[in-house]
Amino acid sequence: MRFFLVLLLGLLAAQAQAEERIVDLRDSTVISTELLTGRIAESDFILLGEVHDNPHHHERRGELLAALKPLSPVLVAEHLEIGKTFASSSNLQQDLEAAGFNAKGWRWPLHQPLFESAVQNGVPLIGGNIPRETARDVVRKGLDVLPADLQTLITKAPLDADTQKTLDDSLIQGHCGHMSEAMLPGMRLAQRARDAAMFSALRHADLRPAILVAGNGHVRKDYGIPSLIRHHLPDAKYVSIGFIEDTPEINIGQELRDQYDYVWITEPAQRDDPCKMMK
């Protein structure tokens, strides 16, 4: 009997751990979607992260976008190219591709619930990322290949040594530890160039709030787009929401508080070991 009781308690604990939840990192409380929507409504910039291959993140952000519809926001997407505006017709994938969306690279239709929500709720959608070719040139050739305005955004808001090391560690980890020292400065600059482009798109968007959808690394408060907002628009109100996966390693503590204002925790995506090919 004792064995079955222990087993039952273990199953209940596992179920509790797997429950989807939104955590306010200021006090580690679990809050509802409605409460989150109310708390972020007065922000100038709402930054929504993602794990790119997790379908739950795209579904939840689509639902959150619908809840924010009364604010008449604009949506800036990492997945589209800066300077391009999405125009809707009868074919969502083709319309996205016309705005710079790489369907194969982003594993369409993973993001379909997110972009369908934008269309259905009449939210204008604009691009925020530098083209892939530009990112590759930045890695190889440096800052000079970027437009002058993006160069200025980066050089006027340098990262301190500790924050730069945090970014470098994240890049190395994201490449499964297989990144040479020679590649690191170029990869770091490419990351910051993407951040600068998305910040520029947010800054020049005609509507407020301007909502960003991008990878979690881009919305981090320490080295991501918030660092550019704080430097270039110190009076602006922003909120950063990380969308992360429920794993035994999650620790709602200072490390996460340094990265985001809220975390939206979902079940993990089903995937193979992403580092298997690199091994």
What digits encode the pLDDT tens for the residues 24-76? Answer: 999 999 999 999 999 999 999 999 999 999 999 999 999 999 999 999 999 99
Residue 3 lies in a domain: no
Residue 10 lies in a domain: no
Residue 259 lies in a domain: yes
Q: How do residues 137-195 score in pLDDT, each as one tens digit?
A: 999 999 999 999 999 999 999 999 999 999 999 999 887 777 777 889 999 999 999 99
CA angle 37, 66, 55 (to 5 degrees): 95
Residue 173 lies in a domain: yes
Residue 278 lies in a domain: no
Residue 11 lies in a domain: no
Cβ contact 124:74 at 8 Å: yes
Q: Is the pTM of this model over 0.85?
A: yes
Number of domains, the chain: 1
Residue 5 lies in a domain: no
Q: Which domain holds residue 50?
A: 19-266
Residue 68 lies in a domain: yes
CATH of the domain at 191: 3.40.50.11550
